[in-house]
Copies of this chain bind each other. A is one copy, B any other.
Amino acid sequence: MAEFDFINKYFHRGKTPDQVMLDKGDDCALIAPSIGCALAVTTDTLVCGTHFLPDIHPHALAYRALATNISDLAAMGALPKWFSLAICLPKDLTDTESWLDKFSQGLFQLADKHNIYLIGGDTTSGPLSITITAMGEVEPTKALTRSAAQVGDRIFASGNLGGAAGALDFLLAKSTPINSDIETSLLQYFNYPEPQVELGLLLAGKANAAIDISDGLLADLSHILKASNVAASVDLDLLPIDDNLIKQFGLKKAQMLAATGGDDYQLCFTVPDEQVSLVKKLSSQARIQIKEIGIVKQGRGLEIFSEGEAVNIDQKGYQHFA
């Protein structure tokens, strides 16, 4: 199939939005940015064998590839608008048409949900990988950056943490699900992460710093602390965790997965004291789960507490201090 037919069949969908002045099929797309907004731009690649296993369902792969990018827009408080898709496909796929059909369904399931429009991209032959560049818009003064955390800010996490890491444990056959409900529910976190766009928009102009949790809560919070030149303490016992994760792994391992597991694509953000009640109220009204888990302090580094005691966590888990 020629590239143009291929794009029309699988990747052209719906009416061209007003701000897209020239659509797919020319040398470039042309878009008309909104006046007064900054353009937020992010790029994420998923590579077979590094970010997903070869047997991933193409529907989930497309969803996740776009979700990781939209999540970065959410973490800036930006409204998702446009994206480009570079897809590298092996020549020896058993059924390329069926694969692309499922892939495009997964892609547009999420794109339509967030009203983000595919403006173009590239299709090439080679080892399976997906690179998406997503663009959104945000008023510059309201953008949520990593470097804006202030001493005294309350630290929050959205949603539940550790679910994707739990699913990865199954996928890598390190553990076996104790029942199929648990398997299904945890795999959902890994395959279909929900970028927190609505929360990001709600926080824009109210929270100070934000980041999306892709490397793991503690690692990503540390990025905020380093960029903001502040310290923090976090209470492990406050981390929001799905009951199924606890049933499967027990509380201690579930906490460890929630603290260090990546791929959740929830937001970690810091809110100045005077905005806390408003942010809680707005989140509650929007039925978005957020949980206060710690506080920003002067200094450097991240202190972690559990059951009132300082604990030390590394990649392999955590131990109580002697």
Contact = CB atoms under 8 A, between A and B. Distances in A.
Given A43-B122, A48-B126, A72 B133 contact: no
Looking at A27, A30, A76, A129, the one whose CB has the most chain B CB atoms below 10 A away is A27
A47 interface: yes
Interface stretch (A135-143, A164-172, A248-256): A135-143
A179 interface: no
Contacts of A42: 27-29, 84, 120
B28 A136 contact: yes
Oligomer copy total: 2
B129 A30 contact: no
- Residues of A in contact with B, size category: 35 or more
B41 A122 contact: no
A124 interface: yes
Contact of A30 (B32, B39, B43, B125): B39
Nearest to A47: B126
A145 interface: yes
Contact of A39 (B31, B49, B126, B143): B31
Given A26-B146, A28-B73, A30-B40, A45 B131 contact: yes
B47 A88 contact: yes
Interface string A47-64: 111110000000000000
A143 B135 CA distance: 21
B38 A35 contact: no
Interface of A: 21-22, 25-33, 35, 38-51, 72-73, 75-76, 78, 82, 84-86, 88, 119-122, 124-127, 129, 131, 133, 135-136, 138, 140, 143, 145-147, 210-212, 227
